């Protein structure tokens, strides 16, 4: 399985952009990079995923390094509701398409 490294915690100010990094240097060429977040006392919520190209959706943007060994989740304007644990998860054929969660990054947002 591809190993991931994420900061244990990060802080952001409300309405400012947030860049959440993830290193996945052992990622396989066919692994997708998934990002999920988990708010307190809730199940994880899908945020975004991509393979090689940068991806945008209504929640966030995903910037994938050209060598795919790292990626960055970008929240363009953090709100208090974005305070959560963010998980970066490579997933592909080696994992049978399964999502194996690591420890993630706990993001706190200050008003």
Partner 1 sequence: SQTIHQWPATLVQPVGSPLSLECTVEGTSNPNLYWYRQAAGRGLQLLFYSVGIGQISSEVPQNLSASRPQDRQFILSSKKLLLSDSGFYLCAWSEGGAQYGYTFGSGTRLTVV
- The residue among 42 and 111 lying less far from partner 1, judged by its C-beta, is 42
Q: Give the residue, chosen from 21, 72, 95, 106, that forms a contact with partner 1 under the rule CB under 8 A.
A: 95
- Whole-angstrom distance, CA of residue 32 vs CA of residue 87: 13
CA-derived radius of gyration, the chain: 13
Contacts of 70 (CB under 8 A, 6+ apart): 21, 22, 23, 24, 25
- The residue among 36 and 83 lying less far from partner 1, judged by its C-beta, is 36
- The residue among 23 and 101 lying less far from partner 1, judged by its C-beta, is 101
Kindly list the residues in this chain that would bind partner 1 in the complex (CB under 8 A).
30-32, 34, 36, 38, 41-46, 49, 51, 91-93, 95-104
């Amino acid at each position: 399985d591809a190993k991931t490294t994420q900061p244990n915690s990060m802080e952001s100010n409300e309405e400012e952009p947030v860049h959440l990094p993830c290193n996945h240097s052992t990622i396989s060429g066919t692994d997708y990079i998934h990002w999920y977040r988990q708010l307190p006392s809730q199940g994880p919520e899908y945020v975004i995923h991509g393979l090689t190209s940068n991806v945008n959706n209504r929640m966030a943007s995903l910037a994938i390094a050209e060598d795919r060994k790292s990626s960055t989740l970008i929240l363009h304007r953090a709100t208090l509701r974005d305070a959560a644990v963010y998980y970066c998860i490579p997933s592909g054929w080696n994992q049978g398409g399964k999502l194996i969660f690591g420890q993630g990054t706990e993001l706190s947002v200050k008003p």
